[in-house]
Amino acid sequence: MKFSYTILKKLVPALKSPEHLAEILTMHLFEVEGIEGDTLDVKVLANRYSDAASHWGIAKIVSAALGKRFRTPLIAEPTIKAKRDFDLEVTTPKCRRMAARYFADVHVGPSPAWLREALEVCGMKSKNNLVDITNYVTLETGQPLHAFDFDLLADGRGIDADQRGKNSSQFSTKALIVRDAKEGEKIQALDSQHFTLTKDDIVLADKETALDIAGIRGGKKAEITTHTKQMLLTAGNFDGVSIYQTSRRIALQTDASLRFSHDLTPELVSPGIARATELIVELCNAKAGGLKEEYREKPKSTNIVFNIERLNHLTGLSMKLDEATDYLDRLGFSIGKKTKIGAQVGVPSLRTDVTIFEDLVEEIVALYGVGNIKPKAPHTMLMGMEENELIHLKDRVRHILVGFGFSEVMNYSFDSFGDIEIENPIASDKRYLRSSLERGLLGNVGSNLRFFPTVRIFEIGTVFTQGAESTKIGIAIGSRKDSMVLEMKGITESFLERFGVKGAIIAPEGKSMLRVETAGHRELGMVKLVKGADFFASELEIDLATLYSVASPEREFIAPPKYPGVTRDLSVTVREKVRVGDVLSVIREVSNLLREADVIDFYRGARLGAGNQGLTFRLNFRSDDRTLTDGEAQEEFKKIVHALEEKFDASVR
Amino acid sequence: MDTEVSNLKRSFFNALSEVTSTKSLEELRLDFLGRERGSLTKILRSLKDLPVEERAKVGAEANALRTEIEEAVAGKLKEFQSLSSLESDLDLTRPGVKIERGHLHPLTLVQDEVIRIFRLMNFSVVEGPEIETEHYNFDALNVPPNHPARDMWDTFWLKANHNSQDTIDKKKNSKSSIGHRKLLRTHTSPMQIRYMERHEPPFQILVPGIAYRYEATDATHEMNFGQFEGLMVGRDISMANLKYVIETFFNHFFKKKIEFRYRPSYFPFVEPGIEVDVMLPSTNSGQKGRWLEMMGAGMVHPNVFRNARYNPEEWQGFAFGIGLERLAMVKYKIPDIRLFRSGDLRFINQF
């Protein structure tokens, strides 16, 4: 919201410069987001629209910060020079207060220079002196106002033409009515835009039609023009929620709707009407009529018991009672009879944000300066912290995968499809919450392959399925040439081994998947082979909680072998259709002295003849109770060769 | 019993351990095995003058030593040669072999650091759900329904599952479903309530997590971002304590002496509410230090305690919220928040 330094300087002469003002505001009230010439752009806090979204309100706080007390100008009642009767009716409970004053002999014309400039500094355009006054008084007091051309209000005669003349006095009194809108009621706003209202909205109306959307925008029908001679000045107060909802539904936010949405106090109506009356009489040379008012809901005054010990307990200060009450006094709070430790404090009517003791503490601390509170280390019991095992596990997963050469990515939780749909998506490809990390990771693989020959990445993130959210570990690897699935398989094995998952099974499931399960056949995830637009990739997703439940946290020492082993390489030729996994299982079954068997070479080519493949295994034999002799190892080797010849028709190369 | 041969053997190996070049090695060999001056050669030559039984004994001993010396000299020579080939053939100016390694995401690095510092202060680290109810995200935190204060947190709402109890309740009675509407949490603050519902004070917790805001993404705004919620509750926890914890954290985090600025602010779940700005010492590049908004904080509002069934007369405490990306951007001088979720390894691999 924009404020004028010139206006504030007049109210608080001690101000030195716009920067000085900005510093005081930032440290004691609202953040100043920018200064441009005379204009200060101020971030008004949501709970301070009643008392401080105005130049008078700000002058009060700034004065208090400078050690002074600002008194809101007192305005004398005008001399009533015009007499014209009208009715004021409020039929909706959403209007808490409505005041209207009739003016005659209004001279509508251009505004004086000071008024035009004041509006301009605050980001508003000058229209004519009357409209400008209503806007200017809002800037000064915080109360939105609206003026209607009195001659354009229907007097009710049009309702029934037959009645005309018969009993004209019955219809000659014009009326301003505040009522709920009718379902489907149409209205043309000042800017000529048309709106269709519902029964949840409120309007100001004459006896025939709506005149404006209450608290949001004036209507075309009784607009003030240079022809206006008589007019009705109005100031109302409406239920904040209602204005907020209407403003959201019709997608129209105005200065007035912003203010009313923050639930202004009806007490603001009085200074608003009084100040505007004063200026209209002066600048439009008008004759003021009497004030009509409906005040349905006068807020109760608030009193709070202030206690200096509680303040010091909450803030860590050791402030004296007199200092605390002095701050409150400068802000316009009334201080009742003091005891040793406290006083009854009366809250000014505009301070709707102050309702409890802690609010008073905030007022005092804001003036005293939070920066002046000395930091103190808390005195607490030393208790063992709660350790969240899953957070700890995430840490370990990250460090292990980074050790394997994988880099961590983070993607959006949104996706183009999934189980859970967003009611108000921000983009069409972000209409759902992701149900898997896969698409994000594969996208990352594809885009990074423009810069790297191979990509190894992982993500730990939340995925959302119907009724549940869970944390997944997604691992992906890819290149332009192939899916690198065997590396992924190796990573998976090593990864699970690091978490003490013994004997995990990683077995093909169809052509393009590997099922990863524990030795007890509990599924941990699937390795998927994926063909992207111009790359190949493998991706694995493991549920963090599942990993936690199968991981064994402790390891137990196993003594290194006492006796040396014997290593032999075995090269065989088998038919291509023979699966390496099957050959390995047979090798492992045959010999009980075999400790390790690895595939160290794999070959297909013309040298072996069509349909054949060559496999080389490195076999390690070892006994736990003696050093194996070459002869014993050779014996085991022969058993294996024999089994492979028999089962796979293998020939030793 | 020491013999002449065993004495020779000792003196040879003593000398060998001193040898540092091929040249002195050759000198040593000649000292023992040289045709002219070799001391062992002399013994071998004098064998013929010895009595027969002694000749056999000394001869065997001396010949064994000759073999031993020859082997030792050859071994030493090999050692010298391999050393000299290392020095002469390998161009040590060639670059080191590149070691491939993975990289943690910068947000993880920052998060780990934040968690580490708060653990130093005995905070427990806990997590909460990303899908929240309106109740925990707003109502219980003293943010009333249909209040423009909610505009401070633009919200992603979730569609109710058409078969779920939510929708049925809604149809029956639109009022009873208020507070149960599902949303993506707009801050990590709901964990304040969730934690207090299940724990007795005193305690201090840090809640890291992802939160969401319905807003257009630009260099400084993200709809998907990391946050830390802090909450400390006890009988005497004061604003002075809040300042101590905040300043200890930032001084550790930036590893510099930094300046702090505290401004009044408004968050419905704290009273008083403050905003904390920090200024880092100006760098050598002549960059003038400026205030950076770092966190919102305040003393827990009594209504929040009531909503969690704590007695506000008995307990008081503070809460704060810090943005994860903001910390990382300041720490690493990252200019654009969108880089974090770009998946670009040219960015991530810098960390």
> May I ask the CATH architecture of the domain A2-65?
2-Layer Sandwich (3.30)
Tokens of B146: 């249909």
Is the pLDDT assigned to residue A165 strictly greater than 60? no
Which residues from B are below 8 Å from A454, CB to CB? none
Q: How far apart are CA B28 and CA B70, in angstroms?
A: 11
Please state which of the four CATH numbers 3.30.450.40, 3.40.50.10540, 3.90.800.10, 3.30.930.10 is assigned to the domain occupying A389-550: 3.30.930.10
Q: Cβ contact (<8 Å) for B344 and A413? A: no
Helix (H, G, I), strand (E, B) or coil at A382: coil
* Bridge partners for A472 per DSSP: A461, A543
H or E, element range at A287: strand A287-295
Scanning every residue of chain B, which has its alpha carbon at the shortest distance from the alpha carbon of A447? B344
Start-to-end Cα distance in chain B: 69
Average pLDDT score, chain A: 92
Mean pLDDT, residues A156-161 taken together:
54
Domain ranges of chain B: 4-89, 106-348
Q: Who among B158, B224, B299 is closest to A358 (CB)? A: B299
pLDDT at residue number A33: 93
Is residue B281 reached through a cis peptide bond, with omega within 30 degrees of 0 on the bond before it? Answer: no
Provide the pLDDT confidence category of residue A156 given band limits of 50, 70 and 90: low
CATH superfamily of B106-348: Bira Bifunctional Protein; Domain 2 (3.30.930.10)
List every span in chain A annotated with CATH 3.30.930.10.
389-550
- The pLDDT tens digits for A337-352 are 999 999 999 999 999 9
Q: Catalogue the long-range contacts made by A376-383 (C-beta closer than 8 Å, 24 or more residues apart).
A: A376/A316, A376/B238, A376/B240, A376/B241, A376/B243, A376/B244, A377/B241, A377/B244, A378/B232, A378/B234, A378/B236, A378/B237, A378/B241, A378/B244, A378/B245, A379/B236, A380/B122, A380/B202, A380/B204, A380/B234, A381/B202, A382/B122, A383/B122, A383/B203
pLDDT at residue number A451: 95
B274 touches chain A (CB under 8 A): yes
Q: Is B183 left (phi over 0), alpha (psi -120 to 50) or beta?
A: beta
Q: Cβ contact (<8 Å) for B343 and A388? A: no
Closest CA to A219 of A155, A148, A150: A148
B85 touches chain A (CB under 8 A): no
Start-to-end Cα distance in chain A: 87
- The pLDDT tens digits for A400-422 are 999 999 999 999 999 999 999 99
List every span in chain A annotated with CATH 3.30.56.10.
2-65, 303-371
Between residues B345 and B94, the one the model is more confident about: B345
Is residue A560 reached through a cis peptide bond, with omega within 30 degrees of 0 on the bond before it? Answer: no
pLDDT at residue number A275: 96
Contact between B266 and B151 (Cβ < 8 Å) = no
pLDDT at residue number B150: 77
Mean pLDDT, residues A575-596 taken together:
90
Provide the pLDDT confidence category of residue A157 given band limits of 50, 70 and 90: low
> May I ask the CATH architecture of the domain A303-371?
2-Layer Sandwich (3.30)
Residue type, A439: R
Is the pLDDT assigned to residue A607 strictly greater than 90? no
Is the pLDDT assigned to residue A127 strictly greater than 70? yes
Closest CA to A429 of A418, A417, A413: A417
Residue type, B61: E
Closest CA to B5 of B83, B75, B77, B60: B60
Q: Cβ contact (<8 Å) for A316 and B239? A: yes
Closest CA to A345 of A359, A335, A357: A335
Give the sign of the dihedral formed by CA A334, CA A336, CA A339, CA A344.
negative
User: What one-character DSSP code corresponds to residue A346?
Assistant: E
Which residues from A are below 8 Å from B236, CB to CB? 313, 378-379
B328 touches chain A (CB under 8 A): no
pLDDT at residue number A233: 96
Contact between A442 and A537 (Cβ < 8 Å) = yes
Number of Cβ within a 10 Å radius of residue B342 = 16
> May I ask the CATH architecture of the domain A566-652?
2-Layer Sandwich (3.30)
Q: How far apart are CA B4 and CA B343, in angstroms?
A: 79
Least trusted range by pLDDT, from A47-51, A140-144, A296-300, B167-171: B167-171
pTM to 2 decimals?
0.83
Q: How far apart are CA A164 and CA A157, in angstroms?
A: 6
Scanning every residue of chain A, which has its alpha carbon at the shortest distance from the alpha carbon of B351? A407
- Interface test mutation site (partner A, options B119, B142, B232, B243, max chain A beta carbons within 10 A): B243
B273 touches chain A (CB under 8 A): yes
Please state which of the four CATH numbers 3.40.50.2300, 3.50.40.10, 3.40.640.10, 1.10.4160.10 is assigned to the domain occupying A86-156+173-295: 3.50.40.10
Q: How far apart are CA B304 and CA B318, in angstroms?
A: 11
Which residues 210-229 on chain B approach chain A with CB closer than 8 angstroms? 210, 212, 214-216, 223-224
Burial call B44-53: b when 16+ CB within 10 Å, e when fewer: beeeeeeeee
Q: How far apart are CA B210 and CA B129, in angstroms?
A: 9
H or E, element range at A640: helix A630-648
pLDDT at residue number A168: 46
Residue type, A448: N
List every span in chain A annotated with CATH 3.50.40.10.
86-156+173-295
Which residues 13-72 on chain B approach chain A with CB closer than 8 angstroms? none
Residue type, A283: L
- The pLDDT tens digits for B138-177 are 999 999 887 766 777 889 999 886 545 444 444 444 444 5
Q: How far apart are CA A547 and CA A525, in angstroms?
A: 10
Mean pLDDT, residues B337-351 taken together:
96
